[in-house]
């Protein structure tokens, strides 16, 4: 059997449009079908995995610790979801299972075929530019025509029907439109990551037309006015290009061309300012210190307010303040309130300083493990850039650049844990993990191990075939 991975392909095509499907149909439960297709593909393609491979126990200590960190994070998610199934709401449990547990199975796909991962990156680039064009259309409606787009109006009605809250500020008037994803930051970050995907395709396939698509995505991110998404995407792309400068000796012309398109696009858009967003969201900060925050606030003042709220009301804050607390609060402070707690909105957390919510979600002990795994994965991927093939280097460079974008995003934005972006986060971790751990998996029926990707683009089922 050939490794097709149609479920994974369809998953990454549909999951960015999941919110659009919810709004159009007014049936959020339909999104579960996307995850079920992915699960069926996972179970079918991996049904012989345990019979075909064995794990080499001679694992290095740092690799073992990294693996244990991943096991802890997945286990914490599973416990949170299982507890909600037994004692809580099945609605929250099912959302937690699909959004925060199922994506970890992407690791099995990454382990098997780099070719399949290049296909996923191709999908993300194409979907990203579609979302970029739609976001431009919404910007045109808001800033030029002075009206909301049809999808914004539908989104407003949908959100009201689900939450009972009329989000007039976000869907009508002179405010940054949300795009096809459920949150403005989520949409802009997705387009920013799509620009990285177009860079990967450019360096892999050597087609200069891909730089046009790359420039369009960069322009849309710069134009939208989401300052953190723009800054994080800018630094992530620059990080990617600098890594190519360092480790790709024969690509200087293409690297310089990509860098020129990147910088020229940003400078051109900032000077052109077709929608007035540069003046509204960037120049207002530079000249007037106006961030558009209520009561003339600044990001620092908002962060300070969220820190105070966190220490006054979260389990960690209650533990540190020596207030009389229950055993349950102590456990939540140390091990976290879990992904279900984030879905429900545990007191002391909010989206405006999302790193605090992640600390509360994983707890004092768990957040140390989670962030250590995240940062070490970036370091590990960077270290491996110089010792892998050009194909693998592009994948790893994409992965660690994406992880850099995400680690900057949590300063303020909850984008990383939205259902359209969380699988990309897991995909990026999986690419780094795959490069580090595939050396430990040995095929039982061949002298070759899993490191021989060119030999094993298609995994065999029968013992008589190559692994």
| Domain-embedded: residue 245 | yes
| Domain-embedded: residue 93 | yes
pLDDT of res. 458: 41
The pTM of this model reads 0.91
Q: Which run of H or of E encompasses 6?
A: helix 6-14
Q: How many CB atoms are located within 10 Å of the residue 407 CB?
A: 17
- Chain centroid to Cα 347, Å, comes to 25
Residue 442 backbone phi and psi in degrees, to 5: -110, 130
Interatomic CA distance for residues 352 and 356, integer angstroms: 9
| Domain-embedded: residue 212 | yes
| Domain-embedded: residue 450 | no
pLDDT of res. 423: 96
> What one-character DSSP code corresponds to residue 449?
B
Give bridge partners of residue 53 from the DSSP assignment: 443
Angle between helices 184-205 and 209-224 (to 10 degrees): 160
Nearest to 63 by CA among 385, 439, 449, 427: 439
* Low-confidence stretches of the chain (pLDDT beneath 50): 1-3, 447-467
Interatomic CA distance for residues 413 and 435, integer angstroms: 29
Sort 227 into a burial class: Cβ within 10 Å, 0-12 / 13-18 / 19+.
middle
pLDDT of res. 451: 41
pLDDT of res. 262: 96
| Domain-embedded: residue 456 | no
Q: Which run of H or of E encompasses 205?
A: helix 184-205
| Domain-embedded: residue 464 | no
Sort 86 into a burial class: Cβ within 10 Å, 0-12 / 13-18 / 19+.
exposed
Domain carrying residue 375: 6-443
| Domain-embedded: residue 194 | yes
Q: In sequence order, which ranges of 140-183 are alpha helices (DSSP H)?
A: 150-163, 168-171
Nearest to 230 by CA among 180, 151, 285: 285
pLDDT of res. 225: 86
Interatomic CA distance for residues 339 and 325, integer angstroms: 22
Q: How many CB atoms are located within 10 Å of the residue 312 CB?
A: 13
| Domain-embedded: residue 453 | no
DSSP secondary structure string, 275-309?
A: TSHIIIIIIHHHHH---SBGGGB-HHHHHHHHHHH
pLDDT in tens, 312-343: 888 888 888 877 778 888 888 999 999 999 89
pLDDT in tens, 133-172: 999 999 999 989 888 888 888 988 888 888 887 777 677 6
Count of the separate structural domains present in the chain: 1
């Amino acid at each position: 059997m050939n490794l097709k991975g149609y479920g994974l392909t369809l998953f990454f095509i549909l999951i960015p449009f999941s919110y659009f499907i919810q709004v159009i149909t007014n049936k959020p439960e339909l999104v579960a079908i996307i995850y079920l297709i992915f699960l069926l593909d996972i179970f079918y393609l991996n049904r012989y995995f345990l019979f075909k491979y064995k794990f080499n126990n001679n694992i290095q200590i740092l690799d073992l610790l990294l693996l244990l960190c991943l096991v802890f994070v997945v286990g914490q998610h599973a416990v949170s979801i299982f507890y909600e199934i037994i004692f809580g709401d099945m609605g929250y449990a099912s959302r937690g299972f699909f959004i925060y547990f199922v994506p970890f199975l992407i690791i099995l796909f990454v382990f098997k075929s780099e070719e399949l991962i290049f296909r996923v990156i191709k999908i993300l680039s194409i979907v990203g530019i579609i979302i970029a064009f739609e976001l431009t259309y919404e910007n045109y409606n808001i800033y030029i025509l002075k009206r909301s787009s049809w999808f914004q109006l539908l989104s407003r009605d949908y959100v009201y029907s689900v939450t009972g809250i009329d989000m007039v500020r976000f869907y009508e008037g002179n405010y940054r439109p949300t795009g096809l994803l459920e949150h403005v930051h989520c949409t802009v970050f997705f387009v920013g990551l799509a620009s990285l995907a177009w860079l990967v395709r450019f360096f892999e396939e050597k087609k200069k037309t891909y730089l046009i698509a790359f420039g369009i995505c960069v322009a849309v991110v710069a134009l939208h006015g989401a300052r953190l998404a723009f800054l994080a995407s800018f630094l992530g792309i620059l990080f990617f290009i600098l890594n190519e400068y360092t480790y790709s000796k024969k690509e200087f012309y293409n690297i310089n061309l990509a860098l020129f398109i990147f910088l020229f696009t940003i400078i051109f858009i900032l000077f052109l300012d077709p929608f007035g967003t540069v003046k509204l969201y960037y120049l207002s900060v530079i000249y007037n210190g106006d961030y558009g925050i209520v009561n003339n606030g600044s990001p620092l003042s908002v962060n300070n307010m969220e820190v105070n709220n966190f220490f006054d009301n979260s389990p960690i804050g209650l533990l540190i303040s020596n207030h009389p607390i229950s055993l349950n609060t102590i456990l939540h402070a140390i091990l976290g309130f879990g992904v279900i707690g984030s879905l429900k909105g545990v007191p002391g957390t909010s989206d405006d300083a999302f790193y605090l919510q992640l600390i509360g979600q994983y707890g004092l002990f768990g957040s140390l493990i989670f962030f250590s795994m995240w940062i070490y994965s970036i370091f590990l991927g960077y270290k491996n850039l110089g010792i892998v093939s050009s194909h693998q280097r592009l994948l790893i460079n994409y992965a660690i650049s994406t992880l850099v974008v995400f680690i900057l995003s949590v300063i303020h934005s909850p984008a990383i844990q939205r259902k359209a972006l969380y699988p990309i986060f897991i995909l990026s971790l999986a690419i780094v993990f795959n490069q580090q751990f595939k050396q430990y998996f040995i095929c039982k029926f061949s002298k070759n191990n899993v490191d021989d990707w060119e030999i094993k683009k298609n995994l065999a089922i029968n013992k008589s075939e190559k692994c």
